[in-house]
């Protein structure tokens, strides 16, 4: 065991970090996870169940298992849950998606049939009726929540009338959400990080008669064989726990999951709401309206990026901090009272148990707006009180927004994990978890198990070395078309291909991308295993946040000031780094982002590098061997922990994912020499048969207008671009020598099916040497006709040979 030397994590214990194979890590992690339950969880549960009056109960033990994706965290998590149940514990598992929740449940059910259940939210699809949501009126439940009521208000009461979907004998479409009952389940799986912020639903709380798990199959076998029955014990070894759960397992953590107000939320404009009718009582109206006018003024005179916590800007000699605190606390109390009045009005509204969500929202629009404004007043007061208590001059919680609509605020805040989950032992499983940040979400992490698995023997990785490819660069739609082309070339070469791209790229190409290419976007890749069998995987760009944005996030998360970059500095400073070549002490130097504040750098790394690592891990690179090879392409020079087998430049990438690649993918090529004007009908033919073809947007209109212009365009491309000229020469040479393939970014593009044919524009003087990819029992002229469609009428080929003539020529 090695102790961390610095910061709040100095108390954290880290097991020595070494590179290992996935199988050895999985076995070691399994032993340590089960040991943690036996040595720390069970003693803590016993002590909590029978507290001593003389000694306070310590904080619950928490571990972080930080291992490479693909090693087998899910199996170890399932094994830990099963082991806990066998020891008498009740376990709750938090996962990012419902699909991953069902995957874990299936793993558990193999070992403990009937021991687990996945809790589904109202808006989830009903597994027994895919055409229906778990709650048929989930929109009404959401509307009730927006009014400040419990979502169950939409279910109705005996007095107001019940929802028509309330479960009842003989009802044709009962509410599947209300039919759920996991109160007796030893293992409950919940999906979505926000679930940990909510108190456990009554139907997943530990039932009054909850008993330790007994395998029904074992019980039946005992009865058949006439063996003596064993008594079922309550709780962990007869421990009567008062908690709903004894152990929390979390898969795929997010240290920023508790932060609110950072995700493209519409700014709050105090001026627009200052004259809102807050309550019938004059004193409430005057106080809240006056406060918003004061915030409007403070926002208008604020020159910096964030609002000051002090609402007095005068130079008078008096206790401004004390007076400001008194006013803020008063306003907060008044806003709380106004909220209660608004919620009482909402409770009295009719139609909650009958109307749909839209009708409820439309009829209660004023109350929804009122509640939203009152909550923001509370949050502003809480942020400013926090600023005074921490003596902060500027509040990252209150960012000033200047726009055409006026000056407003982004109101940020930090939520908390619910007490029922926070007070129990916790095991966190994450490939890229950062303990220093997670401590501010889950509390003190006492121990960290950190392992990095080596690549499987079947992995080859290639990385762009001279370009980051930022999100702003990808605003150019031609990047989306190049990425699509690259993926389809890789699919032709390797048989299957996958992509992980920014969401905006996914939206641009999903309609035109080959349906056999699998695609995910950043943010949706965690826990997704849909790319684990692809033979080629390209990860495009990387997630990145502006320095000031991350500084704000870190400040709100840690509730402490951080070192900030100078306001005039537009991006992160750079430091030297390397892309390391596999099995050699060599690499390519690159300049990489970093932040001088350790915690902000930790946050940057958890988004940028961690996002890249998570994306690459979707191909399960640590589990690939020669029988399941994987070719990875990293289209950014951002840091990864993985060695590479080769690098390429942006110019080389654009040469392959450009007009050269389009021609090869289509299956036609024109060799250097006379008759280059034939490119015009070839370009036109390819574009007519391929949706959103890159050629339409990169070669320009002149190349389509006449054969002469097409020939000139090609000549200029080769003269002006070294990498294109080099690639064209290689293609020519390979086809002339009847080579079976040509390497395109280290991948062998097949050329064996290309056959020569002489062709020219009808009426022109010279034939060009064309190569065309033929199918089985197809002659080159037929192949050219298939590829070019109607444009073939402008082309004359020589010689015109049929199958019989070709056979006679041998």
DSSP-assigned states of every residue in 51-110: --SSSPPPPPPEEEEEE-TTSSHHHHHHHHHHHHHHTT--EEEEESSHHHHHHHHHHHHH
Q: Residue 761 carries which DSSP code?
A: E
CA dihedral for 84, 88, 94, 97, sign (positive or negative) = positive
| Nearest to 45, CA basis, from 85, 75, 105 | 85
Q: Which pLDDT band holds residue 304 (cuts at 50, 70, 90)?
A: confident
β-pairing, 447-453 vs 13-14, is parallel
- Contact assessment for residue 328 and residue 385, using Cβ atoms and an 8 Å cutoff: yes
At residue 13, does pLDDT exceed 90? no
pLDDT of amino acid 694: 79
Percent of the chain with pLDDT over 90: 56
At residue 797, does pLDDT exceed 80? yes
Residue 568 CB coordination number (10 Å): 5
Average pLDDT of the residues in 340-344: 91
Average pLDDT of the residues in 292-305: 90
Q: Which pLDDT band holds residue 805 (cuts at 50, 70, 90)?
A: low
Q: Alpha-carbon distance 692 to 690, whole Å?
A: 6
- Contact assessment for residue 512 and residue 692, using Cβ atoms and an 8 Å cutoff: yes
Q: Alpha-carbon distance 249 to 196, whole Å?
A: 11
Instruction: Tell me whether residue 276 is exposed, middle or buried, using C-beta atoms within 10 angstroms of its C-beta: 0 to 12, 13 to 18, 19 or more.
Output: middle
- Mean pLDDT lowest for which of 19-28, 578-587, 613-622, 663-672? 578-587
Instruction: Tell me whether residue 565 is exposed, middle or buried, using C-beta atoms within 10 angstroms of its C-beta: 0 to 12, 13 to 18, 19 or more.
Output: middle
User: What is the residue-wise DSSP string for 733-748?
Assistant: HHHHTT-SEEEETTEE
Q: Alpha-carbon distance 431 to 26, whole Å?
A: 13
pLDDT of amino acid 215: 62
Helical segments of 502-628, H only: 503-509, 547-558, 598-617
Report the 3 state secondary structure along 433-452: CCHHHHHHHHCCCCEEEEEE
Average pLDDT of the residues in 626-650: 92
Average pLDDT of the residues in 651-665: 94
At residue 220, does pLDDT exceed 60? no
β-pairing, 125-126 vs 587-593, is unpaired
Average pLDDT of the residues in 497-512: 93
At residue 721, does pLDDT exceed 80? yes
pLDDT of amino acid 638: 85
Q: Alpha-carbon distance 9 to 446, whole Å?
A: 8
Of residues 128 and 462, more confidently modeled: 462
Report the 3 state secondary structure along 701-744: CHHHHCHHHHHHHHHHHHHHCHHHHHHHHHHHHHHHCCCCEEEE
At residue 232, does pLDDT exceed 50? no
- Contact assessment for residue 79 and residue 150, using Cβ atoms and an 8 Å cutoff: no
Q: Alpha-carbon distance 503 to 522, whole Å?
A: 7
- Mean pLDDT lowest for which of 216-220, 304-308, 438-442? 216-220
Average pLDDT of the residues in 705-721: 88
Average pLDDT of the residues in 764-785: 92
At residue 10, does pLDDT exceed 50? no
Instruction: Tell me whether residue 360 is exposed, middle or buried, using C-beta atoms within 10 angstroms of its C-beta: 0 to 12, 13 to 18, 19 or more.
Output: buried
- Contact assessment for residue 583 and residue 609, using Cβ atoms and an 8 Å cutoff: no
Q: Is 117 left (phi over 0), alpha (psi -120 to 50) or beta?
A: beta
Tokens read off for 254? 């997010």
Q: Alpha-carbon distance 616 to 641, whole Å?
A: 11
- Contact assessment for residue 635 and residue 537, using Cβ atoms and an 8 Å cutoff: no
Q: Look-up: residue for tokens 């015109």?
A: 800
The phi, psi pair for 440, rounded to 5°, reads -85, -5
Q: Which pLDDT band holds residue 354 (cuts at 50, 70, 90)?
A: confident
Q: Alpha-carbon distance 508 to 512, whole Å?
A: 8
The phi, psi pair for 192, rounded to 5°, reads 100, 125
| Nearest to 706, CA basis, from 672, 670, 687, 679 | 679
Average pLDDT of the residues in 418-428: 95
For helices 659-666 and 722-736, the axis angle rounded to 10 degrees is 30
pLDDT of amino acid 222: 36
Domain with CATH 3.40.50.300 in the chain: 7-120+182-258+417-452
Q: Residue 707 carries which DSSP code?
A: H
User: What is the residue-wise DSSP string for 198-230?
Assistant: SPPPTTTSPPTT------HHHHHHHHHHTPPP-
In sequence order, which residues have a C-beta less than 8 Å from that of residue 53 and are 6 or more positions away? none
Residue 352 CB coordination number (10 Å): 26
pLDDT of amino acid 799: 64
Q: Residue 193 carries which DSSP code?
A: G
User: For 173-209, what is each residue's pLDDT tens digit?
Assistant: 789 999 999 999 999 999 987 899 999 999 999 988 8
Q: Which pLDDT band holds residue 8 (cuts at 50, 70, 90)?
A: very low
Q: Alpha-carbon distance 431 to 690, whole Å?
A: 40
Q: Which pLDDT band holds residue 264 (cuts at 50, 70, 90)?
A: confident
In sequence order, which residues have a C-beta less than 8 Å from that of residue 327 and are 6 or more positions away? 291, 311
β-pairing, 768-773 vs 413-414, is unpaired
Q: Which pLDDT band holds residue 554 (cuts at 50, 70, 90)?
A: very high
| Nearest to 757, CA basis, from 730, 734, 779 | 779
At residue 290, does pLDDT exceed 90? yes
CA distances from 156 to 117, 141, 347 (A): 27, 10, 11
Q: Look-up: residue for tokens 């390391």?
A: 580
- Contact assessment for residue 23 and residue 33, using Cβ atoms and an 8 Å cutoff: no
pLDDT of amino acid 29: 94
Q: Which pLDDT band holds residue 224 (cuts at 50, 70, 90)?
A: very low
- Mean pLDDT lowest for which of 239-243, 399-403, 608-612, 642-646? 239-243
At residue 3, does pLDDT exceed 50? no
At residue 807, does pLDDT exceed 80? no
| H or E segment to which residue 324 belongs | helix 320-347
Residue 30: CA atoms inside 13 Å, Cβ hemisphere, count?
Answer: 15
Q: Residue 40 carries which DSSP code?
A: I
At residue 50, does pLDDT exceed 90? no
| Nearest to 68, CA basis, from 621, 445, 535, 538 | 621
Spell out a b/e string for 288-301, using b for 16 or more CB atoms within 10 Å of the CB, else e: bbebbebbbebbee
Average pLDDT of the residues in 432-443: 92
Q: Alpha-carbon distance 376 to 412, whole Å?
A: 10
Q: Alpha-carbon distance 397 to 555, whole Å?
A: 8
Of residues 581 and 528, more confidently modeled: 581
Percent of the chain with pLDDT over 70: 90
At residue 321, does pLDDT exceed 90? no
Give me the chain's average pLDDT, please. Answer: 87
- Contact assessment for residue 95 and residue 527, using Cβ atoms and an 8 Å cutoff: yes
At residue 4, does pLDDT exceed 60? no
CA dihedral for 17, 20, 22, 23, sign (positive or negative) = negative
Helix (H, G, I), strand (E, B) or coil at 536: strand
Q: What is the pTM of this model?
A: 0.86
Q: Alpha-carbon distance 155 to 175, whole Å?
A: 10
Tokens read off for 537? 């995987």
Pick the CATH number of 7-120+182-258+417-452 from 3.10.20.600, 1.10.3080.10, 1.25.40.10, 3.40.50.300: 3.40.50.300
At residue 460, does pLDDT exceed 50? yes
Instruction: Tell me whether residue 487 is exposed, middle or buried, using C-beta atoms within 10 angstroms of its C-beta: 0 to 12, 13 to 18, 19 or more.
Output: buried
- Contact assessment for residue 571 and residue 591, using Cβ atoms and an 8 Å cutoff: no
Q: Give rounded-to-5 percent helix, strand, coil for the chain.
A: 40, 20, 40
Q: Rounded to a whole number, what is the distance in angstroms from the first to the last CA of the chain?
A: 74
- Mean pLDDT lowest for which of 74-83, 445-454, 496-505, 623-632? 445-454
At residue 170, does pLDDT exceed 80? no
pLDDT of amino acid 707: 87
Q: Alpha-carbon distance 254 to 415, whole Å?
A: 13
Average pLDDT of the residues in 478-498: 95
CA dihedral for 267, 269, 272, 276, sign (positive or negative) = positive
Tokens read off for 714? 């090609």
Average pLDDT of the residues in 578-592: 84
Helical segments of 510-649, H only: 547-558, 598-617
- Domain 455-648 adopts which CATH fold? Rossmann fold (3.40.50)
In sequence order, which residues have a C-beta less than 8 Å from that of residue 359 and are 6 or more positions away? 351
- Mean pLDDT lowest for which of 10-14, 112-116, 265-269, 736-740? 10-14
In sequence order, which residues have a C-beta less than 8 Å from that of residue 224 and are 6 or more positions away? none
| Nearest to 220, CA basis, from 114, 345, 349, 63 | 114
Q: Which pLDDT band holds residue 442 (cuts at 50, 70, 90)?
A: very high
User: For 101-157, what is each residue's pLDDT tens digit?
Assistant: 999 999 999 999 999 999 999 999 999 888 889 999 999 999 999 999 999 999 988
| Nearest to 39, CA basis, from 7, 87, 95, 107 | 87
């Amino acid at each position: 065991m090695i102790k961390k030397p610095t910061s709040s994590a100095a108390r954290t214990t880290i097991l020595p970090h070494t590179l290992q194979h996935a199988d050895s890590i999985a076995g070691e992690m399994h032993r340590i996870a089960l040991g943690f339950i036996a040595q720390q969880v069970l003693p803590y549960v016993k002590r909590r169940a029978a507290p001593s009056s003389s000694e306070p109960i310590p904080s619950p033990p928490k571990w972080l298992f930080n291992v490479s994706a693909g090693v087998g965290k899910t199996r170890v998590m399932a094994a830990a849950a099963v082991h806990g149940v066998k020891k008498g514990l009740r376990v709750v598992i938090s996962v990012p998606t419902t699909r991953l929740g069902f995957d874990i449940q299936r793993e558990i059910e193999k070992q403990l049939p009937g021991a687990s259940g996945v809790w589904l939210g109202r808006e989830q699809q009903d597994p027994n009726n895919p055409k229906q949501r778990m709650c048929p009126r989930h929109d009404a439940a959401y509307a009730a929540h927006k009014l400040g009521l419990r979502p169950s208000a939409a279910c109705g009461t005996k007095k107001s009338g019940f929802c028509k979907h309330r479960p009842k004998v003989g009802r044709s479409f009962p509410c599947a959400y209300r039919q759920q009952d996991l109160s007796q389940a030893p293992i409950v799986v919940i999906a979505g990080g926000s679930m940990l912020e909510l108190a456990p639903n009554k139907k997943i709380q530990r039932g009054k008669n909850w008993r330790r798990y007994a395998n029904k199959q074992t019980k039946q076998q005992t009865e058949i064989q006439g063996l003596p029955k064993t008594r079922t014990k309550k709780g962990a070894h007869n421990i009567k726990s008062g908690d709903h759960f004894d152990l929390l397992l979390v898969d795929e953590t997010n240290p920023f999951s508790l932060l609110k107000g950072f995700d493209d939320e519409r700014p709050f404009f105090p001026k627009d709401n200052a004259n809102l009718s807050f309550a019938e009582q004059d004193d409430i109206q005057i106080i809240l309206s006056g406060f918003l006018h004061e915030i409007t003024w403070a926002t208008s005179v604020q020159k910096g990026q964030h609002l000051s916590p002090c609402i007095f800007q005068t130079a008078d000699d008096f206790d401004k901090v004390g007076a400001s605190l008194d006013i803020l606390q008063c306003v907060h109390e008044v806003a709380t009272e106004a909220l209660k009045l608004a919620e009482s009005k909402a409770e009295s509204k009719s139609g909650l148990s009958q109307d749909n969500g839209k009708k409820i929202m439309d009829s209660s629009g004023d109350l929804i707006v009122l509640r939203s404004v009152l909550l923001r007043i509370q949050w502003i007061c809480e942020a400013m009180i926090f600023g005074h208590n921490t003596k902060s001059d500027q509040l990252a919680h209150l960012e000033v927004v200047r726009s055409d609509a006026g000056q407003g605020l982004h109101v940020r805040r930090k939520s908390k994990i619910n007490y029922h989950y926070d007070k129990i032992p916790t095991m966190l499983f994450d490939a890229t978890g950062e303990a220093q940040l997670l401590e501010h979400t889950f509390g003190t992490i006492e121990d960290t198990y950190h392992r990095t698995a080596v690549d499987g023997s079947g992995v080859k990785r290639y990385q762009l070395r001279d370009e980051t490819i930022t999100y702003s660069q990808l605003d150019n739609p031609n990047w989306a078309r190049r990425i699509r082309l690259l993926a389809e070339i890789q699919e032709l070469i390797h048989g299957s291909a996958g992509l992980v791209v920014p969401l905006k790229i996914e939206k641009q190409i999903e309609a035109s991308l080959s349906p056999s290419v699998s695609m995910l976007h950043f943010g949706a890749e965690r826990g997704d295993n849909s790319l684990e069998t692809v033979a080629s995987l390209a990860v495009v760009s990387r997630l990145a946040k502006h320095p000031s944005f991350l500084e704000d996030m870190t400040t709100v998360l840690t509730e402490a000031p951080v070192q900030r970059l100078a306001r005039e500095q537009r991006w992160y400073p750079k430091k030297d780094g390397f892309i390391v070549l596999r099995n050699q002490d060599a690499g390519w130097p690159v300049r990489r982002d970093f932040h001088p504040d350790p915690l902000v750098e930790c946050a940057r790394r958890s988004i940028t590098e961690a996002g890249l690592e998570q994306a690459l891990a979707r191909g399960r690179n640590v589990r690939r061997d020669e029988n399941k090879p994987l070719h990875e392409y990293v289209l950014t020079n951002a840091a990864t922990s993985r060695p590479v087998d080769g690098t390429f430049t942006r110019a080389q990438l654009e040469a392959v994912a450009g007009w050269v690649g389009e021609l090869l993918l289509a299956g036609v090529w024109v060799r250097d020499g006379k008759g280059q004007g034939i490119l015009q009908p070839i370009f036109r033919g390819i574009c007519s048969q391929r949706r959103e073809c890159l050629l339409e947007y990169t070669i320009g209109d002149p190349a389509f207008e006449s054969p002469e212009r097409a020939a000139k365009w090609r000549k200029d491309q080769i003269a002006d671009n070294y990498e294109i000229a080099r690639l064209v020469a290689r293609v020519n040479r390979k086809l002339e020598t009847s080579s079976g393939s040509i390497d395109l970014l280290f991948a062998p593009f097949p050329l064996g099916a290309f056959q020569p044919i002489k062709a020219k524009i009808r009426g022109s003087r010279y034939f060009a040497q064309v190569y065309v990819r033929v199918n089985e029992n197809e002659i080159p002229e037929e192949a050219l006709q298939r590829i070019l469609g109607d444009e073939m009428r402008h082309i004359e080929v020589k010689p015109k040979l049929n199958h019989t003539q070709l056979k006679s020529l041998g």
